[in-house]
Amino acid sequence: MSNILDVLFADENKAALEEVQKNFNLSETETRAAVEELIPALSRGLQKNTEQGQGMDELLEALRTGSHKRYMEQPTTLGSTDTVKDGNDILGHIFGDKKVSREVANRASKKSGVSSTLLKKMLPVVASLVMGALSKKVLGSGGPVTRANSGGLLTSLLDGDRDGSIWDDVLGMAARTMLR
pLDDT classification of 154: cutoffs 50, 70, 90? low
pLDDT digits (tens, 9 = 90+) for 46-94: 888 877 777 777 887 888 888 888 998 899 999 999 999 999 999 998 8
Nearest Cα residue to 23 out of 108, 128, 93, 110? 128
At 150 the pLDDT is 47
| Number of domains making up the chain | 1
Angle between helical axes of 151-158 and 116-139 (0-180°, round to 10): 130
How many angstroms separate the CA atoms of 105 and 38, rounded?
A: 7
Give residue-wise pLDDT tens across range 159-177. 555 565 554 554 454 444 4
Lowest pLDDT segment from 7-16, 50-59, 125-134, 152-161: 152-161
Q: Please give the mean pLDDT across all residues of the chain.
A: 80
Tell me the pLDDT band of 148, cut-offs 50, 70 and 90.
very low
- Measured CA distances, 70 to 16, 59, 100 (Å): 10, 17, 27
The predicted structure's pLDDT at residue 173: 47
Q: Which residue has the higher pLDDT, 149 or 47?
A: 47
Range of the domain at 59: 2-178
Amino acid letter for position 10: A
Tell whether the model's pLDDT for residue 99 goes beyond 70. yes
Q: What's the predicted TM-score (pTM) here?
A: 0.77
The answer, yes or no, to whether residue 140 has pLDDT greater than 80, is: no
Contacts of 75 by beta carbon, 8 Å cutoff, 6+ apart? 15, 16, 18, 19
> Residue 119 — very low, low, confident or very high, per pLDDT cuts 50/70/90?
very high
